[in-house]
């Protein structure tokens, strides 16, 4: 069920108008350090909702590989 919910949330994120404006990793990685923090994710409500599911290693940051699951 968690996978289904995550998949649906990813679809919603990818199809939202805000997502079209900012779906690439660099647009969320504001400080260009190679990761997206929870604070940086705050610019997109759907990304905030998905953050913990996407953060598979649980370090509180999204790597490019983890973020790629959105696309």
8 with 53: CB under 8 angstroms?
A: no
Structural domain contains residue 60: yes
Tell me, yes or no, whether 56 lies in a domain: yes
- pLDDT score, position 70: 79
Angstrom CA distances, 12 to 33, 43, 61, 66, stand at 27, 16, 21, 17
Whether 67 has a pLDDT exceeding 80, the answer reads yes
70 within 8 A of 12, measured Cβ to Cβ: no
Q: What digits encode the pLDDT tens for the residues 3-58?
A: 655 555 655 655 554 444 446 899 999 999 999 999 999 999 999 999 999 999 99
In a domain, 8, yes or no: no
Structural domain of 37: 25-69
CATH of the domain at 54: 1.10.238.10
The pLDDT of residue 21: 42
Residue 22's pLDDT is 47
Is the residue at 35 inside a domain?
yes
Does residue 46 lie in a domain region? yes
* Residue 7 counted as domain residue: no
Round to whole Å and give the CA distance between 15 and 34: 24
The per-residue pLDDT for 11 is 58
Question: Is 11 a member of any domain?
Answer: no
Q: How many domains is the chain partitioned into structurally?
A: 1
């Amino acid at each position: 069920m968690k996978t289904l919910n995550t998949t649906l949330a990813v679809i919603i994120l990818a199809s939202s108008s805000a997502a079209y404006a900012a779906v690439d990793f660099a647009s969320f990685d504001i400080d260009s350090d190679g990761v997206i923090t929870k604070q940086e994710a705050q610019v997109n409500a759907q990304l905030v909702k998905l953050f913990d599911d996407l953060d598979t290693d649980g370090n509180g940051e999204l790597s490019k590989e983890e973020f790629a699951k959105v696309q």
